[in-house]
Structure formats: C-alpha cells, structure tokens
Amino acid sequence: MKISPSLKLVLATAVVILCWAYSPVGIHIGLEGYSPGHLALLRFLIASVFMVGIALVAGISLPRWRDMPWLLVLGFFAIALHHVSLNYGQQGLSAGASSVLAQSAPIFSTLIAFFWLKEPVSAWRWSCVVLGLVGALLVVVGDRGLGSIQPQGLLVLLAAFSWGLYFVLQRRFSGRHGLLTTTCYMVWGGTLLLMVYTPGLAQAAVQASWRVNLAVLLLGLFPSALAYLAWAYVLARVEVSRASIAMYLIPPVAMLLAAIVLGETLRSGVVLGAAVVLGSVMAMQLEGRFGKNASARVMNDEAPV
C-alpha cells in the first residue's frame, strides 16, 4: 500500500513528538545509574555512532575548516552545556515539569536577541517574555511546593537558555550547510566536548541495571538522532512556523509518558504553569504570523534534543 505524502508528514511529526517527549522520561531513568555528566556523554556517544551511519548513507558534505570553530560552539551550547544542565536540573524536578521548562527556550532567545544583538522587541513580545517567566516560576513552585524547591532544578532554565543561545547563533550560521550536515557535525562536536566525563563511564555502564542502560540506549537513538532526521524531513516540506506548532504537544505527551512509565502525578500548579509558558511562546509566533508588524521575526526554536 502506497502511503500518501500527507500521511508521511503526519507520521514524521508524530515520531518527532514522541521521541522528544520521551527524553525527560529517559533522563529520569538514566539518572538512576549514571551521573549527569556520564549520562550526557553515553547518550551522545550512541547518537554519534548512529549519525556516522546516516552520514555515510546520505553522503553529507565536509565542512570548511573556518566553519569548524562555529560547529564546536554550536555543539557546546546545543549538546554539552544544554544536556549536562538538563540532567543536573532534572535531579530536582519531575520529568513533566522539566519538559515544560525546556520549552521556554524561545523566551531566552528573545532576551538574547534584544540585549546582545540589539534587535527590536515589541511590547507584545515583552509581555510574552514576562508571562513566560511567570509560568516557569509556577512550574517550579507547583512541582515540589514552595518549601521544597531544590535549587538544582533551576538548572533546567540554564539548559533552556543554552538552547535559546544556540538558536540565535545557529541563525547566523544557517545557509552554509544543510540541516542534516549541521546536525551531524554539531552532535559530533558536542560529544567531543563531553569526553571530559570519560573517566568512570565504563564502570558506571557495567554497574547500571539493564533497565537503565536500555533507557540510555533509547535516549541516544531516538531523541538524539532519529528525531532530528524526522524533523529534517518535516522542515523540508512545511514552513518552520507551521511545523513548530506541533512542538507544543511535547510537554503534554511527556507528562502522560511520565505518569505511565514513572508513576508521576500531574500537579495542578505544573499544569497551570505549563499552560502559561506554552501560551506565551505560542503568542510570540502569532505576532509574527498575524501581528501588525509583518516584518517581525519569529523565533521558531526547534525543541531540545
């Protein structure tokens, strides 16, 4: 039976959502047997091997030597700093709350663009930023209660900031290479930087249970590799502003997976905060598509791997 192009697009989008929604659940399980640094390194060693196979099949181009430093910088923010911060932060947050805060990256992209790149930001976008930060606070407080907030949980916001900064830098780098080529070298560069966590990794892998190692294997194959291939397929056929709308389904699906796999309870404060955060990010995009300022730039940050 021949699958229609529209159905292929829907299936590819569903793969992206499921893969990235699994990420906080897999991290939660992986942290049972690995330190945050070891977990990040092993996850992307697996992803790197997978990407080598894809690169050989797809025949990606070699980057120019002058682009190598930029690819390492992208790898540092998108892979190394983002995922180490995310892993440390999730030690103090539930998987569901972590998935919501990770989606706040566009808020930080707006702040970075204003303060660093001196790009104009409308009053509408400023209100979205403030609303999004309030939503993030609601998520943190609602997850564990005001008296039980663990400071390390705030590192998830550092991970979101790192992803937002990566996206701002990536915009300056886009156009030189295709999405698949950039992703491969970014993953390899980030993995190279994570090699500082090599000592003790082999021993941790031997001591970890099969359940933990299976979770890490899935993390490396699906959210870190396969999801990017599916995302590249979607972006090649749909404009980014339309495709990114589907990314708002990631936190609800992640919360559902966390409830099923981890037995997490959906807290009303987290759900309310999630609605505020996702609503503020979506409102940013609506300004770019329907607002009075037709030239406004929409920051459609891809979801974190």
The candidate with the shortest Cα–Cα distance to 305, out of 117, 46, 38, 113, is 46
C-alpha span between 284 and 12 (Å, rounded): 25
C-beta separation of 37 from 200 below 8 A = no
Q: pLDDT of 63-122, one tens digit each?
A: 778 878 888 999 999 999 999 999 999 998 888 888 888 877 777 877 887 787 777 878
The candidate with the shortest Cα–Cα distance to 234, out of 10, 20, 78, is 10
Cβ neighbours for 191, distance < 8 A, ≥ 6 positions apart: 41, 44, 45, 47, 48, 75, 79
Q: What is the pTM of this model?
A: 0.84
Per-residue pLDDT of the chain (305 residues; tens, 9 = 90+): 677 878 888 888 899 889 999 999 999 999 999 999 999 999 999 999 999 998 888 888 787 788 788 889 999 999 999 999 999 999 988 888 888 888 777 778 778 877 877 778 788 878 888 888 888 878 877 776 655 556 777 888 899 889 888 877 876 665 666 777 888 888 999 999 999 999 999 999 999 999 999 999 999 999 988 887 887 788 777 766 566 667 778 888 888 899 899 998 878 888 888 888 888 877 876 665 554 443 344 444 555 65
C-beta separation of 83 from 44 below 8 A = yes
Listed by start position, the domains of the chain span 5-290
